[in-house]
Amino acid sequence: MPLIRSTPASSSAASGPGSVVILGGGPCGLACADELTRLGHDDWVLLEAAAACGGLASSVTDPAGFTWDLGGHVVFSHFGEFDRLLAELFTPGELLHHDRSSFIRFRDRWVPYPFQQHLHPLPEPDAHACLRDLLDATCRPPSLSPSADFATWLDATYGAALVDRFFAPYNTKVWATPLQDMASGWVAERVAPIDPDEVLAAFSGTTRPEGRWGPNATFAFPARGGTGAIWQRLASRLGGRVRTGARVQAIDEATRRVVLGDGRRIGYRHLVATTPLDQLTAMTTGAPTRVRAAARRLRHTTVAMVGLGFASPTTDERSWLYFPQPDVPFYRATNFSKYAPANVPGAATDRFSGWMTETALRPGTQIDVAELIRCCERGLRGCGLVPDGAEAVSAHVEMIPYAYPVPTVERDTVLAQVVPWLEERGIFPRGRFGSWRYEIGNMDHAVKMGIDIARRLVTGAPEELTALPAVSAPAAKAAGL
């Protein structure tokens, strides 16, 4: 059953009884607004706190003329709705297409991604230890509980040698969280599976792993403007009901009004919120103590994106690279000038190259920005990605306070406490941080969530992604559910 009736176009501040207010102008919020319009429901308004739309998928151009994304984004899709949106916004020539080429830095060499499928290039002692423990792990009878923590899951799946050499150091850098505090139910499409026969065949030289695992084995990227160009185009298409510079200070769920920082109040019947779930709960005035306390248990990472531009040609053909070692601050470096020539000044990849690095931090960590830049540059040069004599001509830093939601062992219990309370009051948390589910945290997932909630509100169609994960009876009892 639809939750709202379609209403005629209105220039009001979305105060009518059929109105939808959308918080956040990232992929999810914009897709929701676009789908509402497509369905003929024009009584909506989108409120974005920043000066421009894009959210976590925004891009910036620094004073030297280098374009950077807010972290690593590539365009790939699980959903026809996302494909349709791209086709509407871009002509074929405006998207560049790439085959993924990714490697891991291990000791003194580059190992193809995924690491666990390419053990044969490792130094002989490492290769033999990893293979031995991997085969032992695969021969054990399956005994893992679905509620196993991530550290336990890794050890049982890949063996101690692989965990010690790659999985533990890399994932500790990425998540800035002890792996035993993380769940394992999110890994299905995020951690590559292993076929022992293929690994053994690679050692014998009879075959090599294909190396094209995963949904992003091929990907697209805008020819100009970075990933943010997608969302700038969509926001422009949506017109004046997208309001930037509109920061929400509070939500009065009893009267169904949002309160802006300048004191204005905007009424809604339904609120689609892409605001981080912990912040959303904190600003909802009637949220009970138990709901607020539960939301505060959610964890996330902060990421420092350091973009470094050099006066040297773009010659490396690889897409992005992973760094498990502790002497390099970043966990990933992206060959950003390879994604699109326009990401460097004048599109002159024969003169410039650009590397985008990502360093994960615990929220609230204080850093020396100048020292981080120096360490990132030293890390790039130390592994040969930047020639010794190449002049650094740009260093741009973007701090991303909410970068990734951490799938902790208690996350699903928290969601089961918080999300139903909000939805019963017409507040629908969606998007990467609204859902707080890393496993559905890509751009295409966000678009799908935005489209699906619009369809649910207007037509009553069920949503495909947002059913809450099951919570075990002991966990539910412990949480008071």
Provide the β-strand partners of residue 359: 304
Q: Which of 73-77, 116-120, 280-284 has the lowest mean pLDDT?
A: 73-77
Q: Look-up: residue for tokens 């074929």? A: 92
pLDDT digits (tens, 9 = 90+) for 408-461: 999 999 999 999 999 999 999 999 999 999 999 999 999 999 999 999 999 999
Q: Which of 355, 380, 405 is the last residue of a domain?
A: 405
pLDDT in tens, 186-231: 886 556 667 777 777 777 766 655 545 566 788 899 999 999 999 9
Report phi then psi at 267, rounded to 5: -80, 155
- The answer to whether residue 91 sits within a structural domain is no
Whether residues 198 and 342 share a domain: the answer is no
- Of the three residues 356, 390, 405, the one that is the final residue of a domain is 405
Question: In the prediction, which pLDDT does 62 show?
Answer: 98
pLDDT for 291: 98
CA distance 370 to 78: 39
Q: How many CB atoms sit inside 10 A of residue 203's CB?
A: 12
Q: Is residue 277 located within the same domain as residue 424?
A: yes
Q: Report angle CA 93, 95, 97 to the nearest 5 degrees.
A: 105
Mean pLDDT, the chain, whole residue set: 90
In a domain, 364, yes or no: yes
**Does one domain contain both 334 and 412?**
no
CATH number of the domain where residue 356 is located: 3.90.660.20
Q: Are 342 and 459 within one domain?
A: no
Q: At 401, list the tokens.
A: 């306070």
Q: Are residues 255 and 283 both part of a single domain?
A: yes
Q: Which domain holds residue 466?
A: 20-49+245-298+407-478
pLDDT tens-place string over residues 123-176: 999 999 999 999 998 888 777 787 899 999 999 999 999 999 999 999 999 999
State which of 147, 177, 204 marks the end of a domain: 204
pLDDT of amino acid 470: 63
Same domain, 270 and 305: no
- What pLDDT was estimated at residue 15? 43
Examine the domain organization and report whether 287 and 263 are in the same domain. Answer: yes
415 plus 447 within the same structural domain: yes
pLDDT, residue 198, reads 78
- Grade residue 294 by pLDDT with cuts at 50, 70 and 90: very high
pLDDT on residue 11 = 36
- pTM for the model stands at 0.91
Indicate if 414 and 366 belong to the same structural domain: no
Average confidence (pLDDT) over 341-361 = 98
Is there a domain that residue 210 lies in? no
Domain count, the chain: 3
Instruction: Evaluate if residue 17 carries a pLDDT over 50.
Output: no
Query: Is 436 part of a structural domain of the chain?
Result: yes
